[in-house]
Amino acid sequence: MKFLHKKKQFFALLLLLFVKSLYAQQTSEILLSKLSLEEKERIVIGSEMEIPWSEGGDTGVGEVGGNVPGAAGKSLANERLNLPVVIFADGPAGVRINPHRASVPDKTFYATAFPVASLLASTFNTELMRQVGKAFAHEAKEYGVDILLAPALNIHRNPLGGRNFEYYSEDPLLSGKMASAFTNGVQSLGIGVSVKHYAVNNQETNRSRINAIVDERALREIYLKGFEITVKESKPWTVMSAYNKVNGVYASESYDLLTTILREEWGFKGFVMTDWFAGENVPQQLKAGNDLLMPGTPNHKNMIVNAVKKGLLTEKELDRNVKSILDIYQKTPSFLGYKPSGTPDLKASQKIAKETATEGMVLLKNDENTLPLTINKSQKLALFGVASYETIAVGTGSGNVNMAYSTSLLEGLEKKNLFIDNSVKEGYVEYIEKTKAALPPKAWSFGPDKILPEKKWTSEELDVIAQKTSMGIFTVNRTSGEFYDRQQGYDFYLSKEEQTLLKKISEAYHKHHKKMVVVLNIGGVIETNSWKKDADAILLMWQGGQEGGNAVADILVGERNPSGKLPMTFPIQYMDHYSSINFPGKELVDNPYPSGTVGVKSEVIYEEGIYVGYRYFNTFNVPVSYPFGFGLSYTDFEISKGDFKTTKDGKLELSCWVKNIGNKAGKEVVQFYISSPEVELEKPTKELRAFVKTKQLKPGEKQEVKVILNATDYASFSPKRSAWILESGIYNIEVGNSIDHIFFKETFKRNELLEVLKTTKSLVPKREISVLTKKSK
C-alpha cells in the first residue's frame, strides 16, 4: 500500500510539473496576444529608455518600482498587464550593486567579492565552481537581482587583454567547463545568467568598433567552443552579444551568430541581450535574434514601432523576440513574486570565497622547500611591496564588487601569529598614506586604478633588515579592467623600480643565507623569466577576492597545500605570443583623441588561427617561463595507467590511478591531452580534452580517476566539409599534471574518417585571410 501511495504521489507531482510547464507556455502566448505593438516595444528595450542615465547612482538605476541601486539595468514594467520589473546585475566576481539604499539608511547591502575568473579557472575544480555559482545566486536572490551578467568566458588571446581577469583561460575546454559549472550552480537556485561576451570579444581597445576577422576553423575550435559547451551543458537563460564585429558584421546584428549557430545548431532556448549600447542597426539586431536592447536609450522610443510600420521589421519577427524574453522572465524571482530578504548568508559565501581562493593559488617555484613557513617565536618576516599591505582583491569596471572588507597579506599573516618586522611595516604604512594623498581623485568609477610606485630601499637598509629577520616576502601587484587594455612597460614587465628592489632584497637575504619569496597579486600574465632565479619561492595568489589575504596566509604557513594549475601560458617575452604581432589591431581612420569608451573603425586579423596559447607554444617549440597546466604542491603525486577502451563511434573510456607519494595531504589535477593525426587538417601537437581534480589525498592514499570522451569531445573542425571530423590514423592520449609533465600515454588507431557533426556554412570571412600554419612558420 505504501508503494502504491508513493507511486500516486510521484505521478501527481509529474502531472503538477507538466501543468505548470504548460501553463507557463500558455501564459507567454496569452500575454503576447494581449500586448499592443507599443507594449511589445517596451518588452524588448531596457528601462533607460525612460530614465536619464544620471539618475539612481553610478549606473543610473534608482530605487523606484522594484529597482536595485547599482544594478546594471532592468526591464520596463507593464502596469496594465501587471508585468513586474526584472533586475540585471554585473557578476563576474560577485553581485555588483550599491551597498547603500536611501530607503533603508541603517542597513548595508554589501556583496561578497569572490576571486577573479583567472583564479577560479586555476582550481580546475568544476564541483567547487558549482558551489561558487550557488553562492552568487543566493546573494543575488536575497538582494533582489534576477539575472547575473556572468559568466564571462572570452579567450585569453593575448596577455594584454584588459579583461582577461574576468575570463577563465586561453583554452576553450577549460573555459567552457568552468562557465558551465558556474551556470548550473547559479540557475539551480532560480537565478539566471547571461553568458558573455558572445563572441570574439578579446580586447578592450576600440571594442565597440573593432572588426575581428577570424577564419572558420579558429572560430569554431577556439572562440565559439566554450560558449557551445556552456549552452549545451547548462542551458543558460540568456546570452549577451558582444560589442565587436565578427567578420564584418556586428555580433548583435549577426543572424549567423545569434540564430543559425546559437539557436539552430546548439539548441539555445533563452534570449539574447546586447552589451550596453552595442550595435548600430536596431531592426537588424532584432531580426538577427538579439531580443533585448540594453540598457535602452531615449532614442529607442517609437523606433521599433516605426520600423514595423515601415516594413523594416515584421511583427512576427518582433513577436519571436518578445516571446523569447517572456519565456525566461516567467522563471525569475520577480515574476514568481519572491520577496528578497536583503540579508543573504554572507558568512557562508565568505567561506566559499576563501576556499576557492585557496584552491586556485598556484605555486610556481619552491626551491629547497622554502615554503611552507614555520611558525615559531624565532621566525620574523619582512613584508616588502605595497601589495603586501594593500592587496588587490578584484579588477575594475563591471568586474568590480562593492565589498564590505578586503583582507591584505599582512592581515592574513598576522592572524597566524607570525611576527612581522615593525620597522618595514611602519615604513610602508607611512609611504602608502603619503603617496595616496598626493594622487588626484579617480575621474570615474569605471576608470583604471592607479598602482602606487614601489617604495625605494637602499642596499644598506635592506642588509640591516635581512640580518634581523628570517625571511623576506615581496608582493608584486597589477590591476586592469574594462575599457582599457594593458601595456607592456610597467604592466606585463616589471618597472625598473620593481626590478631593482626585487634584486636588492634577494641579494640581501642570500648574503645572510636566508630565503626570499615573491607573491604575485595579479589578474593576468606578467613576465617572470628574467627575475624568477632571484626568488627561492614564487606563489601566484592572483586577485583572490575579499578573503585573498587569509587564503594566501593559509598557503604560506602550510595549513593548506597549493593545488592550483595555470589556465594559461606564462611566456618568456611578450612578443613570444604570436597574437602579439597584431594585438590590438589597426585603426582604419585617424584617431587623434583615443578613448577607452569611444572606439573608432578598426580591424584585427587573427593571424594565429587555431594556434592560441599553449597550442602555439607547444606546436612550434617556443620556450616558455611556465607552461599551461603547471602548478607545484607541497607533496608529490604519481599517476599510473588504468583501463582504456575505444569504440567505432569514437567513444573513449579511460581511467588512471593517482597516488600521493609525498608526506603531506593534497589534491592533484589530472590532465588528459590528445594528439590527433593529420590527413586533411593540420593539428596542434596536443590539446586538452578532459581534466579531473582529485579529492584531498592523504600521504599514501590513491584515487581512481575516470573520464569518458565522446567523438565530439576531441573532433576537429573542417571548413571544407562544414563538419566536425575525426580523421583516420594514430591518436595519442597523454596523461599528466601539466602539458609538459606527462606520466603515461595510450594509443589507438582509427581506420577511417568519421564525420561526427555536420554544421552550417556560417561566419565566413568576407575576404581571404592568411593564417599561421606549420608550413608558413
Residues recognised as catalytic: 275
- Give me the residue label for grid cell 578598426: 602
Question: CA angle 155-545-692, nearest 5°?
Answer: 55
Give me the half-sphere count of Cα atoms (radius 13 Å) on the Cβ side of residue 66.
Answer: 23
Ramachandran quadrant class, 560 (left: phi over 0; alpha: psi -120 to 50; beta: rest): beta
Q: At 239, list the grid cell.
A: 546570452
Q: Which of 709, 698, 707 is nearest to 668 (CA)?
A: 698
* HEC letters along 131-163: HHHHHHHHHHHHHCCCEEECCECCCCCCCCCCC
Neighbours of 740 (CB within 10 A): 15
Q: Which of 687, 669, 661 is nearest to 738 (CA)?
A: 669
Neighbours of 503 (CB within 10 A): 13
Are the C-beta atoms of 609 and 218 separated by less than 8 Å? yes
Question: CA angle 731-733-736, nearest 5°?
Answer: 160
Are the C-beta atoms of 153 and 176 separated by less than 8 Å? yes
**Sign (positive or negative) of CA dihedral 571, 677, 688, 363:** negative
Q: At 578, list the grid cell.
A: 604570436
Radius of gyration in angstroms for the set of CA atoms belonging to the chain, rounded to a whole number? 27
Are the C-beta atoms of 166 and 567 separated by less than 8 Å? no
Ramachandran quadrant class, 641 (left: phi over 0; alpha: psi -120 to 50; beta: rest): beta
Are the C-beta atoms of 384 and 472 separated by less than 8 Å? yes
Are the C-beta atoms of 494 and 452 separated by less than 8 Å? no
Q: Which of 389, 417, 358 is nearest to 132 (CA)?
A: 358
Give me the half-sphere count of Cα atoms (radius 13 Å) on the Cβ side of residue 224.
Answer: 20
Provide the edge-to-edge strand list for the sheet that holds 637-646: 637-646, 652-660, 702-709
Which H or E run includes 352? helix 346-360
Ramachandran quadrant class, 255 (left: phi over 0; alpha: psi -120 to 50; beta: rest): alpha
Q: If DSSP codes are grouped into helix, strand and coil, which group holds residue 658?
A: strand
Pairing outcome for strands 741-750 and 716-718: unpaired
Q: At 49, list the grid cell.
A: 529608455
In the chain, the amino acid numbered 718 is: S
Q: If DSSP codes are grouped into helix, strand and coil, which group holds residue 215?
A: coil
Q: At 618, list the grid cell.
A: 607547444
